[in-house]
Amino acid sequence: MLPLEMLDKRMDAPQCPPVSPPPCLHALHARNVSLKLFPVTCEYIKGEKQFYYRAQQFYEDVPASEEGMLGDFMEIGNVDLEGSRQFLKRFVAGTHCALDCGSGIGRVSKGVLLPVFEKMELADMMEHFLLHAHEEYLGDDADRIETYYCYNLQEFTPPKHKYDVVWMQWVACHLTDKDLMNFLMRCKKSLRPNGVIIMKDNMARQGCKLDPIDSSISRHLDIMKCIIAKAGLEVLAVEKQEGFPEVIMPVWMIAMK
């Protein structure tokens, strides 16, 4: 699901102070220095329960449709899917099963993942999105969905050793630093041999940026890399999504294992 903060309203939302790029991770490990999480949660979210509650309340009013998933940015839908397809191609080792996290109605599953994988599983916190995916949106492909998980990702533990790809699009921004780190650790355990996690999300141009309306937070790419490293994952590739309007916040794809 596309967060409202996709529009880069640079002066409209609270912003974290700019951060310098983190030191080389190899140098940190060599000096046995722990990676610190940035103070996004404690300084800007101001209460995890309210942060998650506001997101839940927001999405209860979002229609189960492509328009609901993309909001005012329907024109980027095809460009987004094609960019995802090309990025995914580089990392597919197995095609048995994939997990779509924060799936919404299954827009990415339908346009990117189902053409590649034999089976799929979808996870989203909104029941009406998953019901629409199963009953209408995915059509005959719904027969290939093994499981629909109606969970908040901060409370969700995927089955171990099951997925060739775990896909996370526009959902990392709805997790606090700590919960995102822990969820990535759980996702790592859910991968089959040679499996990968692919994250696609808004990345702030500097520091981090909180959107109080849909309760999402965008982090600078370097901050995201630090969280990924703290989760014990290795970044395989990073690529910017091209072809989006300039007014849109930068969107990056990260493959990790």
Is residue 65 over pLDDT 80? yes
Return the structure tokens found at 224: 């995201």
State the pLDDT at residue 43.
59
Q: Which residues contact 72 (CB under 8 A, 6 or more apart)?
A: 7
State the pLDDT at residue 22.
43
When pLDDT is cut at 50, 70 and 90, the band that residue 25 belongs to is very low
Query: How long a stretch of residues is the chain?
Result: 257
- Which is higher by pLDDT, 44 or 143? 143
For 22-31, 140-149, 179-188, which range has the lowest pLDDT when averaged over its residues? 22-31
State the pLDDT at residue 19.
43
State the pLDDT at residue 6.
54
First to last CA, the chain: 23
What is the spatial distance between Cα 152 and Cα 102, in angstroms, rounded to a whole number? 9
pLDDT in tens, 85-137: 999 999 999 999 999 999 999 999 999 999 999 999 999 999 999 999 999 99
Q: What rounded mean pLDDT belongs to the chain?
A: 88
When pLDDT is cut at 50, 70 and 90, the band that residue 48 belongs to is confident
What number is the average pLDDT over the span 225-236?
98
Is residue 28 over pLDDT 60? no
State the pLDDT at residue 32.
39
Return the structure tokens found at 79: 């460009």
When pLDDT is cut at 50, 70 and 90, the band that residue 3 belongs to is low
State the pLDDT at residue 4.
52
154 is in an annotated binding site: yes
Q: Which domains does the chain have, with CATH numbers?
A: 39-256 (3.40.50.150)
Percent of the chain whose pLDDT exceeds 70: 82
Q: What is the largest CA-CA distance in the chain?
A: 54
State the pLDDT at residue 69.
96
Is residue 26 over pLDDT 50? no
- Which is higher by pLDDT, 21 or 96? 96
Are 215 and 166 spatial neighbours (Cβ–Cβ below 8 Å)? no
Is residue 23 over pLDDT 60? no
What is the spatial distance between Cα 128 and Cα 130, in angstroms, rounded to a whole number? 5
pTM for this model (two decimals): 0.87
What is the spatial distance between Cα 45 and Cα 183, in angstroms, rounded to a whole number? 18
Residue 106 to residues 102, 171, 204, 210, Cα–Cα distance (Å): 9, 13, 25, 26
Cα–Cα nearest to 4, from 79, 78, 54: 54
Is residue 141 over pLDDT 50? yes
State the pLDDT at residue 71.
87
pLDDT in tens, 183-220: 999 999 999 999 999 999 999 999 999 999 999 999 99
180 is in an annotated binding site: no
169 is in an annotated binding site: yes
